[in-house]
Amino acid sequence: MIEEEEKKLFREFVGDVEPVTQLGLGLKILVDRNSPTLVSRRMAAVKVSENEDDFLPGAEHVPRVKALDTLSFKRDGVQHGVFRHLKQGRYSVESSLDLHRLTVVQARIEVLHFVRDCVAHNIRCGSITHGKGEHRENPALLKSCVNYWLPQLPEVLAFHSAPRHSGGLGATLILLRKSEEKKAANRMKFPEPKPL
């Protein structure tokens, strides 16, 4: 009995309602584009893009490597043969960055811009010279930073300490993600085989 009374009260309160059969049909949501919430969101988005270089941490949060350690990193999906060629220095280095005499703050900005510039210019393999820092007050500081920063950049597929003839343990070779243009060119060169 109570349920029937509650249903009756509900129907009186709601009135004549037609169910929506398709999601979004006939619904209009009015948005005040000058509402304080939207304005603050827009301002926050602009601020984030201005400080995009700040997502890489400074030296205080970086795990340290030793001056004579070999740096090595490979994302899932990178073929073993491709990584082996990188380790052996078989890819031609199309661009390089030298971090000698830079502070950690300067190096962080330079590494980020270097990687993004390489991708923008369809560069597949680059080199970062950071030095070993053997006889420094803070040994291997820049080397440790490069080792920590590169895996955080989605454009970097793999990296490895360079072979002796390319800078040895004081330099790192990086393999960068292919641009959409290079992917399309590869598809043209090597089309997928048609099923039999």
Mind listing the pLDDT tens digit for each residue in 103-136?
999 999 999 999 999 999 999 999 999 999 888 8
Question: At 117, which helix (H) or strand (E)?
Answer: helix 104-120
Task: Please provide the average confidence, as pLDDT, over all residues in the chain.
Answer: 83
pLDDT of residue 50: 44
Q: Which stretch of 1-5, 70-74, 87-91, 157-161 has the lowest confidence by average pLDDT?
A: 1-5
Q: Which residues contact 42 (CB under 8 A, 6 or more apart)?
A: none
176 CB-near residues (< 8 Å, 6+ apart) = 115, 118, 119, 123, 124, 125, 126, 155, 156, 157
Query: Cα–Cα distance between 15 and 175 in angstroms, integer?
Result: 65
Q: How far is CA 192 from CA 135, 177, 183, in A?
A: 53, 20, 13
| Amino acid identity at 39 | V
Cα separation, 22 vs 24, whole angstroms: 6
pTM of the model: 0.67
Tokens 């040994």 identify what position?
139
C-alpha Rg value of the chain to the nearest Å: 27
pLDDT in tens, 74-95: 999 999 999 999 999 999 999 9
Looking at residues 28-32, what average pLDDT do you find?
Answer: 58
Kindly give the interhelix angle for 141-149 and 104-120, rounded to the nearest 10 degrees: 40
Does 159 have pLDDT greater than 90?
A: yes
Q: Indicate whether 173 pLDDT > 90.
A: yes
pLDDT digits (tens, 9 = 90+) for 36-61: 665 666 566 554 444 455 567 666 77
CB within 8 Å of 100: residues ≥ 6 apart: 129, 130, 131
Give me the phi and psi of 136, to 5 degrees please.
-95, 165
- CATH number of the 62-184 domain: 3.30.1370.110
Residue 30 binned pLDDT confidence (cut-offs 50, 70, 90)? low
For residue 169, name the pLDDT band (cuts at 50, 70, 90): very high
